Amino acid sequence: MKKLAALSIGMILSATASFAGCAGVEDACEIPEGTYHAEVPPGTPKGALMFLHGWGSSGSGSMKMRGMVNGFLDAGYAVIAPDGTPREGRSGRGWIFHPYWDEERSEHEFLAAVRDDAAERFGFDPKMVMLSGFSIGGSMAAYVACLNPTHFSAYAPIGGNLWRPHPEACEGPVRMLHTHGWSDGVVPIEGRLLRGEGLTNPDSLIQGDSFHAMELFRVANDCANHKPDRFDIGETYWRRAWERCADGSALEFALHRGGHSVPKGWAAMALEWFEGQMLSN
């Protein structure tokens, strides 16, 4: 019985480990700026999802999210999972985007370099890449959308967006679908104080307000009104969309009942949204 249990555990660990690497090669894909993990569907990919891990995780950790990964692979897209910057004195990795943090590398340029390297390796169009991420990875995706919107075709952060002090303005236009849990207590929709002596102290470290982020992106997209043009209330998601905006832009806010998580069915929703945007623009 012990041998059978050990064999089962070994098979699980082996299967899990196989999800990391460079499209069938055990080691991660490597470029001068860092490393990333990748899986590709049979044939030439239609494009790619680039997914940024949360705080303390890694690209290989992202590849264990099989519902999301398989959803995009089955639809013909490559899945790319970059490794963030190592955390000093701690295990795991993070992303450097806050204006008070010292940059060890330009995360924006690293992600663009991953995009170009993966497109060349695997044969997909670099103009067909959606940048997403969870938690602090979602915030990293939002900062790229705000400051370098042309780096990727679309953006889909989950459970994380811009932090305080919020940028004064975002470049634009941009295609963005932001997803957030109504009961998220780790990264609440309005943000929270992480470190410091109060909400008005400029030295405090404070997560941002996703509603305010949507305002910045509405302005960048030159939307006609603050009020959404479309409301969709479904079983899993409550969605608000701004449609009278600049050509080539899109802005949508999807709320779900849960907390700090990638909700079930997100891959299908995000994929449908992404393909709809790329076909209509």
Determine the structural domain holding residue 95 and report its residue range.
Answer: 21-193+204-280
193 forms bridges with which residues in the sheet? 206
Is there a cis peptide before residue 165, judged by omega within 30 degrees of 0?
Answer: yes
pLDDT at 56 (0 to 100): 92
Is 257 domain-assigned? yes
- How far apart CA 47 and CA 278 sit, in angstroms, is 11
Over 60: is that where the pLDDT of 29 sits?
yes
Is 11 domain-assigned? no
Higher pLDDT, 116 or 10: 116
Total number of domains constituting the chain: 1
The average confidence (pLDDT) of the chain is 90
Confidence label for 20 from pLDDT (cuts 50, 70 and 90): confident
Model confidence pLDDT, tens digit, residues 70-121: 999 999 999 999 999 988 777 789 999 877 676 778 999 999 999 999 999 9
Is 13 domain-assigned? no
Is 97 domain-assigned? yes
pLDDT at 203 (0 to 100): 74
Mean pLDDT computed over 195-222: 89
We report the CATH number of the domain holding residue 243 as 3.40.50.1820
For 157, half-sphere exposure in the C-beta direction (CA atoms, 13 angstrom radius) is 26
Is 178 domain-assigned? yes
Is 163 domain-assigned? yes
Is 12 domain-assigned? no
pLDDT at 281 (0 to 100): 62
Is 246 domain-assigned? yes
Over 60: is that where the pLDDT of 52 sits?
yes
